[in-house]
A = this chain, B = another copy of it.
Amino acid sequence: MDEDGRSDDGSTPTAAQAACFEAGIKFGSLYHQFAGTPVSVESAASLARAMEEAIENQPGCRSVSVAVREEELAAALEAGPASYTELTGRFLEVEIAVEHAGVAVLARMEMADGYPLMRLVSVDDVGG
């Protein structure tokens, strides 16, 4: 076994790796299902709630927390002629908790250098 707990052929995925793959699926799903949705300050809350509950349906998804960055959204709307815009990553902060094959994964999307970055926060054995 090497340092990632893989067998000699170095390629069979571990339970922790599979759990991280599952967490990534949830993030990609959330982003690309809802990106482009018409959103305003008034409708942001219902969209965030729907995003949470939709992705929580997926296998192994323990919780999804979506916060719309309302100041950023309001500023973007003031800069243009319309009262709504299309949902994109710079208006979102997302945290997703997954448990798969006895491993708990926490992942987050937040802005970094002006771009939305999805990243793993923690990976923990929780038995199973």
Chain B residues within an 8 Å CB radius of A81: 113, 115
| Most B CB within 10 A of own CB, among A29, A80, A115 | A29
The tally of residues in A whose CB lies under 8 Å from a CB in B reads: 70
Asked if A118 and B28 make an inter-chain contact with CB atoms under 8 angstroms apart, the answer reads: no
One of B17, B40, B55 near A16 (C-beta < 8 A): B17
Verify A16–B28 contact, CB threshold 8 A: no
What is the interface of chain A, defined by CB distance below 8 A to chain B?
1-6, 10-14, 16-18, 20-40, 42-43, 46-47, 49-59, 80-84, 86, 88, 105, 107, 113-115, 118-125
Partner of A54, one of B6, B39, B53, B115: B39
Name the one of B11, B31, B39 contacting A57, with C-beta atoms under 8 angstroms. B39
